[in-house]
Amino acid sequence: MRLSIVTTLYDSAPYLEEFYARVSAASVELTSEYEIILVNDGSPDNSLDVALSIHSRDSRVRVIDLSRNFGHHKAMMTGLSYARGDIIFLLDSDLEEQPELLKIFYEMLQRTKADVVFGVQEKRKGKLFEQISGWLYFRVFNLFSTHPIPANHITARLMTREYVAALVRHEEREFVMSGLWALTGFNQVSLLVTKHSKEKSSYGLRRKISHLVNAITSFSSKPLVLIFYLGCFILLLSSIAAIDLIVRKLLFGTLLEGWASLIVSIWLLGGLTIFCLGVIGIYLSKIFIEVKHRPYTIIRRIFENSVPDFADLPIETVQLPRDGKDVHELR
């Protein structure tokens, strides 16, 4: 059995040495053939320096340095695209998710013959705001999505090579990993785990709202369908109101007065119109981004030692010579 550990780096320097030690110890319990892939997502601290120090001491550590910060999800997808193991363990490097989950997940994978074992928080971490906002995120996402995602799931998951190969075939540039995990299918089983909490979450209210909007518009067309039905509903109400005014004029010779209600109606319909145009605009912007076929990440450099037999790649790649050394570039 060959194992790949994939994680991303962003402000990860304080945790990286401990993460490496713990995930290495967990890997050795399962196999001697393992690799650790560290994807530096344009981290503003010295995470890259720490990662290169670890790489210089351990040939099983590979470091992928992105040219800038592209975002957590895109960095994860890049790391998975370079994984070469029969099974791939994905988790965050900030130690909120315990590296020792690897053994537990592997036992579950063997017992259930599943393609994916992923963690779900037994109790959502954080204070009241984080718990309520997290609950709302999953409720709203699943309300609009055609592929619901498990509530309170975490990044940590153990996946088979076949599943990861199918996952990285998704070619969209704007995506949310949780949606792709569900969309890819296969046999996936959950496991209740405890996730630790840092003093301060990197996801504030503004970022959570932006993440939710991106998630919904990337994986569902329901908002566009709702706009259509909203237009039909408003048309029906306005038709009834128009008929009522005509009947009052013809039969009773009176017209309803009320400039205030008229102004409120104009503002209401104007706001609805702008909102609907905004939703349509978000979808159009996503189409605009997708048709350009820009890479979702750009790799500055890959730090790796000579590649042994372990390196038969599961993902379609193209080999480009650079400085006398093969570098794998995503298509």
Q: Distance of CA 227 to CAs 218, 274, 275, 278, 282, Å? A: 17, 12, 9, 11, 13
Are 72 and 152 found together in one domain?
A: yes
pLDDT greater than 60 at residue 66: yes
Are 108 and 250 found together in one domain?
A: no
Are 114 and 7 found together in one domain?
A: yes
Average pLDDT over residues 76-80: 93
Are 79 and 147 found together in one domain?
A: yes
Are 12 and 115 found together in one domain?
A: yes
Contact 55, 61 (CB under 8 A): yes
| Neighbour-count burial for 171-188, b at 16+ CB within 10 Å, e otherwise | eebebbbbbbbbebeeeb
Are 137 and 253 found together in one domain?
A: no
Q: Is 7 or 305 the better-scoring residue by pLDDT? A: 7
Strands ordered across the beta sheet of 153-160: 188-193, 116-121, 153-160, 87-90, 3-9, 34-40, 61-66, 299-303
How many Å apart are CA 112 and CA 126, to the nearest integer? Answer: 31
Domain of 63: which CATH number? 3.90.550.10
Of the chain, the percentage scoring pLDDT greater than 70 comes to: 75
- Structural domain boundaries enclosing 266: 222-292
Are 274 and 174 found together in one domain?
A: no
Residue 217 lies in a domain: no
Residue 120 lies in a domain: yes
pLDDT single digits (tens) 151-182: 788 889 999 999 999 999 887 777 778 878 88
Residue 212 lies in a domain: no
Are 231 and 306 found together in one domain?
A: no
The full 3-state SS of the chain, as one line of letters, equals CCEEEEEEECCCHHHHHHHHHHHHHHHHCCCCCEEEEEEECCCCCCHHHHHHHHHHHCCCEEEEEECCCCCHHHHHHHHHHCCCCCEEEECCCCCCCCCCHHHHHHHHHHHHCCCEEEEEECCCCCCHHHHHHHHHHHHHHHHHCCCCCCCCEEEEEEEEHHHHHHHCCCCCCCCCHHHHHHHHCCCEEEEEECCCCCCCCCCCHHHHHHHHHHHHHHHCCHHHHHHHHHHHHHHHHHHHHHHHHHHHHHHHCCCCCCHHHHHHHHHHHHHHHHHHHHHHHHHHHHHHHHHHCCCCCCEEEEECCCCCHHHCCCCCCEEEEECCEEEEECC
pLDDT single digits (tens) 271-282: 778 778 877 877
pLDDT greater than 80 at residue 21: yes
Domain count, the chain: 2
pLDDT single digits (tens) 84-136: 999 999 999 988 889 999 999 999 999 999 999 999 887 766 666 666 766 77
From the list 8, 68, 3, the residue with the least C-alpha distance to 29 is 3
Are 177 and 240 found together in one domain?
A: no
Are 46 and 143 found together in one domain?
A: yes
Are 40 and 134 found together in one domain?
A: yes
Residue 211 lies in a domain: no
Length of the chain (residues): 331
Are 240 and 311 found together in one domain?
A: no
pLDDT single digits (tens) 295-315: 778 899 989 876 555 544 444
